[in-house]
Structure 1
């Protein structure tokens, strides 16, 4: 049986294997790779086709765990709504210590402890956080990019919701059989794999649209708008960093001011260097500014917390 330390280490290791903490970005990268491979499925041996249900369920589990984490860590009202999802989780000193030390977040801990081995599990968890039935909501979700940017009619992403849900459930079933049984007399129908792939991909896209609009209503859609929005968020974070830095320097003696200035300059260099390192995975792409600003803003937010804590710890706040 896993101990809570195993769970904490598992969360940390899982995080280290991702390029980002964005459910949307991780889904885009993983699903686009799978879709390209699926286009060449005719060249694959029948046995290798069985990989697709396994990979699709990994996408379902990975995406929805990360989305649940994002929603809960956003705060109210999702944090309060997540209370019922924590009932079977083991909360002991190791977990409290990891949360206090910011090794893991509340969202990560809860998301890790939620079962996601069938469609009903996903619906239960997301419905609790959304405050309404997820599968019912997905019936009418439309692709904003399609109708706002491309000018297409506003139509639901899922043209046949019931058929989609049935095919996703079948994909979960296939994955279980392939991964956990020898099943020597069981023939996996290629049509089930193909139907499941299309349905699961559309289900994920509809789910991402619903969650995205819930967390960030009317968010920018074009890459240019995303770059502008990311830049504005970084500017706002850096303005707060500088305001706090100015506050601290006003309360220090000249010698300490010089020390602080050197440390702060080193932090700024680190922020810029690390953000560039992360963004350069997309060097030459139009998404580069969004990745750079997002990475830098995350570091700036941590710096804000650090400076606020310094002010509190040394009685400089106020």
Structure 2
């Protein structure tokens, strides 16, 4: 049976709260808390440590597919580099074209879904092809322009230990394969190695995100305050679009739709907005009291609003001329 790529991508997106790297870092922080809370506990199950490489590969795959899509959807000159991939990676048919045209998915999301993330070589080849550079080589000499002391420390730590860190990335994929696809009963779980692998993989992902964003957005706002404002402004833009849709529906004469009750529609929107706010408060509570909380709150509001807009567009496509 042929793969339904549109369904795969749609279901994948429905399981992700944020369509960007922040969800990866939230999961990394959860893994870090798991390891730190069990530090020095000799009785902790080996199964917990076996899970770490599995989760790390999931984080890498999620992050890099997100970055592939972001690079491609950025536009030229990077979007043209897609042509350098083997043609078998991008088989378009009418359903794919229609899905892209109706904004169910982007070209970047489709292409990134076809690219392999099975090892560090795949990642190196994909990023190198898209950016037109030698990715891992440039990563080793990358000098961050970040104003944040933490990011500068991450960058310095990566440069000083690049070979060891990349060796650990290779080991992550190997261990993940063993623990996912083999019993591996004779494999001794080295807890210190797992701790080291986690720390170095986290460094690799954080430095990679900084590196790629420095290529795409060299003049982007970087202070947390500016990022909070940016996230809020992006939500405001979407909110304006939603309110336009709501206004059209409330003012439309639905003589041909006897089942459309405007009062019930108004009530449902009010209840949905309360849910949206509660969901945002819950999601942002992970970093409660921190400087990132307003940004996570706005991102959740943006995500929930995007889903509502998509729902309205699908239900009333003729009214919104989609």
Q: Shift of the alpha carbon at 1:225?
A: 1.8
User: 1:139, 1:156 within 8 Å by CA — same for their partners in 2?
Assistant: no
Contact 1:123/1:135 (8 A) holds in 2: yes
**Larger relative contact order (CA 8 Å, sep ≥ 6):** 2
Identify the residue that residue 70 of structure 1 maps to in structure 2.
Answer: 70
How well do the aligned residues superpose, as a CA RMSD in angstroms? 3.9
- CA gap of 1:46–1:153, structure 2 versus 1, over 3 A, is closer
- Seen in structure 2, the aligned counterparts of structure 1 residues 218 and 169 have a Cα distance that, compared at 3 Å, is same
Q: Is the 8 A contact 1:52 1:197 kept in 2?
A: yes
Counterpart in the other structure of 1:252: none
Q: 14, 17, 25: which is aligned to 1:16? A: 14
Gaps of 5+ in 2: 254-261
- Is the CA contact 2:57–2:173 (under 8 Å) kept in the aligned structure 1? yes
1:290 aligns with 2:295: yes
Equivalent residues of 2:28, 2:202 under 8 A apart: yes
CA distance in 1, matches of 2:186, 2:251: 75
Structure 1 stretches of 5 or more lacking a match? 250-255
Deviations 1:32-89 (A, max 9, x none): 1111112125432223311111111111111111111222222222221223336223
Match runs of 1:48-197 below 5 Å? 48-85=48-85, 87-89=87-89, 90-142=91-143, 144-145=145-146, 147-148=147-148, 156-158=156-158, 159-197=160-198
Report the equivalent of 2:258. Answer: none
Distance 2:135 2:68 in 1: 13
Task: For residue 120 of structure 1, report the CA deviation from its aligned partner.
Answer: 0.5
TM-score (structure 2 length as normaliser): 0.74
CA distance in 1, matches of 2:15, 2:139: 30
**Structure 1, 281-290 or 126-135: larger mean CA deviation:** 281-290
Give the aligned partner of residue 29 of structure 2. 32
CA 1:272/1:72 → structure 2, altered by over 3 Å: closer, same or farther?
Answer: farther
User: TM-score normalised to the size of structure 1?
Assistant: 0.75
CA distance in 2, matches of 1:86, 1:258: 50
